[in-house]
Amino acid sequence: MTETPQLLLAHHLKSLKLPTFQREYDKLARQCAAEGVDHVRYLLRLSELELIDRERRMVERRIRQARFPTVKSLDAFDFKAIPSLNKTLALELARCEYIDRRENVIALGNSGTGKTHVALGLGLAACQKGLAVGFTTAAALVHELMEARDEKRLLRLQGQLAKYRLLIIDELGFVPLSKTGAELLFEVFSQRYERGSILVTSNLPFDEWTEVFGSERLTGALLDRLTHHVHILECNGESYRLKHARGSKKAKADRTRPDA
């Protein structure tokens, strides 16, 4: 029995990887016929639907590959809570032009002031631009590097890291590094110098980074590369999480307080 045109079309569209085309062509054809739309405009609408859906799938894939701990946008960030943060600069960085220029971003400030949220927001913006992004903490990256070195696959891991247009390293300074760990992390920074962008968040000012890397020489060389082309976001002030917790506690106390 000869296959019907619908079955053949479905087969061809699957082979061409046009799932939206396959899902929408019949419904859209009836709609365009009712509106008196010609075949060219019908095909235009159909191709636009395919492109929109393909872009959506691409962004979702980039977000999965980035391995964000959670997905957050800058739209959800409370800039008023952290007045030291340069909102104009943060929104400018969300355009991702610094990535094309292979520049770096450093977000500095004490714990709970939104550094990770800003990093996640900038990472999401890069994914939405179709750029490859990787997210990790400094401690997790060092552990991964040391494990890869022991298993003789360090070059492969370094190659994978080099493919990211933006590498986000969160929480640098929370955990002191061993001599080997510091050297391996330095190598990551060094390999990306003027080749790919790095976004670092840290709770320590630059003059205390020696405490993390354990060597003034290594710290100086790292900062020299990292800060050559850099945008600095200062997130200083009271912990946003602590402030929010106090507000919640006060609100609960007000609800349970007996009437006078």
Q: What is the pLDDT of residue 1?
A: 44
pLDDT confidence band for 120 (50 / 70 / 90)? very high
Measure Cα distances from 83 to 87, 94, 217, 235 in Å.
Answer: 9, 18, 34, 8
Judged against a pLDDT cut of 60, whether residue 242 lies above it is answered with no
The CATH architecture annotation of domain 67-243 reads: 3-Layer(aba) Sandwich (3.40)
pLDDT confidence band for 260 (50 / 70 / 90)? very low
Distance CA(180)–CA(230), nearest Å, equals 26
Contact 144/136 with Cβ under 8 angstroms?
A: yes
What are the residues whose beta carbons fall under 8 Å from the beta carbon of 179, sequence distance 6 or more?
Answer: 214, 215
pTM summary value: 0.83
Looking at residues 22-45, what average pLDDT do you find?
92
Q: What are the extents of the domains in the chain? A: 5-61, 67-243
Alpha helical stretches, state H, the chain: 5-15, 19-35, 39-66, 87-93, 97-100, 115-128, 138-150, 154-162, 179-192, 210-213, 216-226, 240-256
Judged against a pLDDT cut of 70, whether residue 148 lies above it is answered with yes
Looking at residues 30-39, what average pLDDT do you find?
93
Looking at residues 76-96, what average pLDDT do you find?
95
Contact 165/98 with Cβ under 8 angstroms?
A: no
Measure Cα distances from 1 to 4, 13 in Å.
Answer: 9, 21
- Return phi, psi of residue 137, to 5°: -90, 160
Contact 66/122 with Cβ under 8 angstroms?
A: no
Q: What is the pLDDT of residue 6?
A: 87
Q: By percentage, how much of the chain surpasses pLDDT 70?
A: 90
pLDDT confidence band for 112 (50 / 70 / 90)? confident
